[in-house]
Structure 1
Amino acid sequence: MTSNVVDPNAGAIVVGGGIGGLAAGIGLVRAGVRVRLFERAAEFGEVGAGLQIAPNCTRILAELGLLDEVLALGVRPQSMVMKDAVDGGELTRLDLGDLEERYGFPYVVIHRSDLHGVLLREACRLGVELVNNAAAVAYSTGTDHAEVTFADGTTHRAELVVAADGLHSVARSLVSDDEPVSSSYVAYRGAVPIGAVREDGVSETDVVVHVGPGCHFVQYPLRGGAMFNQVAVFESPKAIAGQEDWGTPDELDAAFSRTSEEVQQGLRHMWRDRWWRMFDRDPISTWVHGRIALLGDAAHPPLQYMAQGAVMAIEDAWVLSQHAARLTDRIGRVDWDGALTAYQAVRPEHCRRVLTTARDWGKLWHLDGQERLQRNAVLTARETDDYAWIDWIYGPTALFPEDEPERYPQTSLASAAAEVSVPA
């Protein structure tokens, strides 16, 4: 037994104060569990700019009573539009009003820090105990508890430990010896006041994705339309060559040199003093080790092509807390072994599918030559009310796996493109 164990009677410890960790804390407290949440940074907060919240997540925010606040801080776009980044032509679109009618919940875009703030305020309101400056360095588990050791030498014990400690999770090493996988792609961001781009003729009502050879460009409004978010993503030749200094602004300019005027105008507003290299990890089938559960990027860091990273973390938290609530007896004792077994049964396969599909979509977005023309032909032939490619992700199947994948079979756009005959 560890001699310096702190608070051995805690119900649950959550490690990581990002979106997934806060969602876990909220869900578990609502299930009647006492929660202590540890964050390595000196303050709680999020970096980055915009993110997209699809109906498979807004249904959970509605259940938590947080959707109205999220809607007030974000934007409800009218459409999602995909364009060819080279010639600027529209390839396909989704009517997000129809999408809301189909799935029962809206599609929302919001600043990452705004969503984080909503969750942080709710965690405080519910009484989640928040601890800063706490970097986890080791995890261990027993038959009825788990422990986390922090950089200051203290060890904290609880009946459950949720490791929401991100891409470089320390806890993940308990179930896998894998390492992060570099995609060789890098992202530049630029969130600016809407007035700075309005004269460029940008859409203030839609999410627009320009897909091009080895690159893509995303645009959408934020903060009630007062801000405009843009993201430029490209494959780095320096990364492919194994150079340390990769993703630099000269590579940004070269990668988008063939793109349309619309994209060129947007590139002027990128932050050029910082960039984000894009990593994911290979899917793993085991997320639970004794009384330790991985959650969010610790379990399934994705590439961003499906806009499901934060969504999956919130789904994880919801599923785990719902099973904890379901398996709580009359005097408040949780059958954690049963809850973790149910969590393990529900989440890894769905998230494996998201991770691998995101990789495939990235390849599809970035085609060139004849393959690009084939892709464009497939997309332009799509009926606007065809939801075959997204039912499995936006529907409730992530929470009810017995309906998946038979109910919503996955459609391969790459396979379809190969079958299309493109006129010379």
Structure 2
Amino acid sequence: MSTRVLIAGGGIGGLTAALACARAGCDVRLFERAAEFGEVGAGIQIGPNVVRVLHGMGLERDLARVAAFPHRLQVRNAVSGRELGVLPLGERAVRLYGAPYATIHRADLHALLLHPLQRDGAVRLALGNWLASYEDRGRVVTLETTEGLEVEGDVLIGADGLWSRVRELMLNDGAPRVSGHLAYRAMLPQHSLPQHLRSHQVTAWLGPRLHVVQYPVRGGDWLNVVAIVHGDFNGDLHGWDHGANAADLQHAMGSTCQPLQELIAAVPDWRLWALCDRHPMQGAWQQARGLVALLGDAAHPMRPYLAQGAGMAIEDAEQLGRSIVLERLPMGERLQHYANRRWQRCARVQARSIRNGEIFHSEGIVRWGRDAVLRVFGERVLDVPWLYAGPR
């Protein structure tokens, strides 16, 4: 009999896990809280390490159809506007890391992963069903949904995001921590912008206690803009798609340079969410116990300052697909193999993301030193070979 895999969560990580496990010959059932699939409008960056995984899953042609592939990443001082450093992408990324650097609308990536699951019918998708509890019985794990449905499987995967119910039951380690950073995001058609504000590269503007990132999505036809500032949030932390006041963001921009001010002013509507994360992982025990394992934000939520949140979930899913079919091992040991292969890399990305945020938002002499280093060693500082080369 094929391995019965139960997956809680139908986001990017959950869908990739379902695809990886189905293609490994598993019998997969996925449970999603929402009554229908959908992803809110936000862009994400996916480095060569992630693009290579998607290519390996047979999605290269579909990805090329909906993503953008910027030719360079530029870093600028948000106050002076001066260029600090450049990292060539494009063919350089393919030559060094075997795949390009891509930027994509989150909804497009979600649809790209969902389509083969719906087309092939290899995964049973249960919408409007959410995990209420589970019981690990040693040989099988039983899941009960909030609708009263009981399902038995060989393994349960918690891909249910930052506020993971599976993690709560498995680790009982409290809520995520609030970072004190607010992210304003927007996407708009490039043709709606003045010509001088349109862009087909990744640009990061670094300022005191803030930074802004812009890059193309949807084949370059749209521009994604994310502005992150320090501040408090009084809304629902569980949600990440709140209305935003453009005047608040413009005030937070302070004395930033004219080109950046023009970009912010050109965006008619912003959405807001408060950034939360957890401390970097301390061991494999935080990613798998018995017949239950965590994946993506459920296991290692991270700040977006290395642009690898979705990437680590996709890498997790690929490794899960490899580990879960190690038939020489009992199922619990297969999940431990998965966790052992993933936790240290994810912890390193978590820690690097925190550190990057400190550097991006630095003030005083640290900010001066950052700019000086970028001007002299731009490409060497901006490249991340240990990350983009993929896990070993």
| Corresponding residue for residue 195 of structure 1 | 191
| Corresponding residue for residue 148 of structure 1 | 143
| Corresponding residue for residue 302 of structure 2 | 302
| Corresponding residue for residue 113 of structure 2 | 119
- Equivalent runs, 1:2-401 vs 2, <5 Å: 11-96=4-89, 97-126=91-120, 127-173=122-168, 174-204=170-200, 206-236=201-231, 249-270=246-267, 272=269, 274-284=271-281, 285=283, 286-325=286-325, 327-328=326-327, 335-382=330-377, 384=379, 386=380, 390-396=384-390, 398=391, 400=392
Map Cα deviations across residues 132-173 of structure 1 (whole Å, 9 max, x no partner).
Answer: 001212122121111222111222210011110110011112
SS in 2 for 1:101: helix
| Corresponding residue for residue 412 of structure 1 | none
Q: How far 1:252 moved relative to its partner? A: 1.5
Q: 1:388 to 1:196 in 2, by over 3 A?
A: closer
Alpha-carbon distance in structure 2 between the residues aligned to 1:117 and 1:227: 17
Alpha-carbon distance in structure 2 between the residues aligned to 1:315 and 1:61: 9
Q: 1:276 to 1:269 in 2, by over 3 A?
A: farther
Percent identity of the aligned residues?
Answer: 36
**Higher mean C-alpha deviation, range 336-345 or range 73-82:** 336-345
SS in 2 for 1:382: helix
Taking structure 1 as the reference length, the TM-score comes to: 0.85
- Contact 2:157–2:295 (CA under 8 A) maintained in structure 1: yes
**Higher mean C-alpha deviation, range 175-184 or range 247-256:** 247-256
SS in 2 for 1:195: helix
Alpha-carbon distance in structure 2 between the residues aligned to 1:394 and 1:66: 19
Q: What count of residue pairs does the alignment treat as equivalent? A: 379
Map Cα deviations across residues 386-407 of structure 1 (whole Å, 9 max, x no partner).
Answer: 37851111112x2x2xxxxxxx
Q: Which has the higher contact order (CA 8 A, sep 6+)?
A: 2
- Contact 1:188–1:271 (CA under 8 A) maintained in structure 2: no
Q: How far 1:100 moved relative to its partner? A: 2.0
| Corresponding residue for residue 416 of structure 1 | none
Taking structure 2 as the reference length, the TM-score comes to: 0.91
Alpha-carbon distance in structure 2 between the residues aligned to 1:56 and 1:9: 30
Alpha-carbon distance in structure 2 between the residues aligned to 1:176 and 1:82: 40
SS in 2 for 1:20: helix
Alpha-carbon distance in structure 2 between the residues aligned to 1:299 and 1:137: 18
Map Cα deviations across residues 57-88 of structure 1 (whole Å, 9 max, x no partner).
Answer: 11111110102211110111000111111101
Q: 1:271 to 1:43 in 2, by over 3 A?
A: farther
Alpha-carbon distance in structure 2 between the residues aligned to 1:371 and 1:347: 33
Alpha-carbon distance in structure 1 between the residues aligned to 2:54 and 2:193: 31
Which structure has the larger Rg over C-alpha atoms?
A: 1
Alpha-carbon distance in structure 2 between the residues aligned to 1:388 and 1:219: 16
- Contact 1:10–1:36 (CA under 8 A) maintained in structure 2: no
Alpha-carbon distance in structure 2 between the residues aligned to 1:383 and 1:276: 31
Alpha-carbon distance in structure 1 between the residues aligned to 2:184 and 2:381: 30
